[in-house]
Amino acid sequence: MFRVILHLDMDAFYASVEQRDDPALRGQPVIVGSPPTQRGVVCAASYEARKFGVRSAMPSATAGRLCPSGIFVRPRMDRYREESRAIMRIVAATGAVIEQMSIDEAYADVSALCQGPDADASLLQAMPLARKLKEQIRAERQLTATIGVAANKLLAKIASDHQKPDGLTLIAERDKVQFLRPLPVRILFGVGKVTEQVLQRAGVRTVGDLQDYAGDLRALVGSFGPKLKQFAFGEDDRPLELGDDIKSISGEETFLKDTDDRKILRACLREQAADIATRLKRRRLGAHTVQVKVRYGDFKTLTRQISVEEPLTEANDIYRMGCVLLSRGKLVSRPLRLLGLGVSNLREPGAQQLPLF
């Protein structure tokens, strides 16, 4: 499968939310942060304020000097978080697998939705999807987003940084090496101030310099060297970090009337298994462990689980394991008040387990 990754980055997020919520701020140099008379810093600045050189993390007093017409607004973090959730819901509704990087930034893996005959054809298929996503965010949230499209996280992020605000940039596999050449090394993931200085002292300023560098980068940047060389050529196999929030997926149902009717119980398991399989597919995961949970009329609750070597992805398989657990544990010895089915121990199916050294 060809990888297709979007990097979505909201434009001047805090300031844009403020400008949206208060029409009087639109088109104005808005500075989100403490007022310049107080000791404090700038949290964010609108594009109008950035023209004056105002940047986030700058002391408010400096920002006030640079931009005397600046309108200072106190940050409303709760409001931004709420907005962030609404935007991420829109992204998730595309069916993408999401790694949220910050309040206004996320990677979305849309590989499953965009497969063409080759890598670049697959990337091209993501363009209508990205356009639609931008339009939807504009229509539903009255905010603009910039999206980068590429075959990996490194390039998708570079693509979204390339043209802002309201941008949409695709870096094709065919063009990536040339695209990166003129850019400063600083844009590569893992190159901070210190590494940048080390590289500059060795005469390496652009990514092109890095591509051409004949010496051993290890001598300059240690064990990061080989990875850095790969990044310079636009290669990056870092997976999306899906976080700890999806250690398991489960569903349960409480019956209107306690039941031991096998037909009803099987139908219930079947439905839960189908739901679980859909959610696994969306995240491109398989499950090594299946669990059933039963509760009787007296609220006594039992769980039984089973683990398998090959990750399960199909509803039918998950359903079958559920049935096995119910009958093997003789759990339906009396009517059930509740029946639940869940999976855990989630992995990417087919992904080789790394040997533990």
Smallest gap, in angstroms, from Cβ of residue 106 to Mg ion?
A: 11
CA distances from 272 to 133, 140, 141, 220 (A): 30, 32, 33, 55
- Cα dihedral 324→326→330→335 (10° resolution): -150
**9 contributes a contact to Mg ion by CB under 5 A:** yes
Separation of alpha carbons 151 and 110, rounded Å:
10
CB 88 within 8 A of CB 106: yes
User: Of 13-42, which residues contact Mg ion (CB under 5 A)?
Assistant: 13
Smallest gap, in angstroms, from Cβ of residue 50 to Mg ion?
A: 12
Nearer to Mg ion, 99 or 104 (CB): 104
Q: Considering CB under 5 A, how many residues would be counted as binding Mg ion?
A: 4
Separation of alpha carbons 133 and 141, rounded Å:
11
Applying CB under 5 A, the span of 10-18, 165-173, 249-257, 267-275 interacting with Mg ion comes to 10-18
Tokens of 33: 């942060």
Smallest gap, in angstroms, from Cβ of residue 10 to Mg ion?
A: 5
CB 31 within 8 A of CB 184: no
Smallest gap, in angstroms, from Cβ of residue 41 to Mg ion?
A: 17
Separation of alpha carbons 320 and 290, rounded Å:
10
Is 105 among the catalytic positions? yes
Contact characters 46-85, Mg ion, x per CB under 5 A: ----------------------------------------
Nearer to Mg ion, 87 or 154 (CB): 87
Q: Cα-flanking dihedrals φ and ψ of residue 151, to 5°? A: -90, 0
Separation of alpha carbons 349 and 312, rounded Å:
8
DSSP readout, 255-309? EEEEE--HHHHHHHHHHHHHHHHHHHHHTT-EEEEEEEEEEETT--EEEEEEEEE
**104 contributes a contact to Mg ion by CB under 5 A:** yes
Applying CB under 5 A, the span of 7-15, 31-39, 108-116, 256-264 interacting with Mg ion comes to 7-15
Separation of alpha carbons 327 and 269, rounded Å:
13
Smallest gap, in angstroms, from Cβ of residue 161 to Mg ion?
A: 10
Smallest gap, in angstroms, from Cβ of residue 9 to Mg ion?
A: 4
- Catalytic entry in 99, 105, 135, 309: 105
Applying CB under 5 A, the span of 90-98, 99-107, 310-318, 346-354 interacting with Mg ion comes to 99-107
Nearer to Mg ion, 88 or 112 (CB): 88
Nearer to Mg ion, 17 or 221 (CB): 17
Nearer to Mg ion, 9 or 83 (CB): 9
Nearer to Mg ion, 13 or 107 (CB): 13
Binding site for Mg ion (CB under 5 A): 9-10, 13, 104
Active site (catalytic) residues: 105
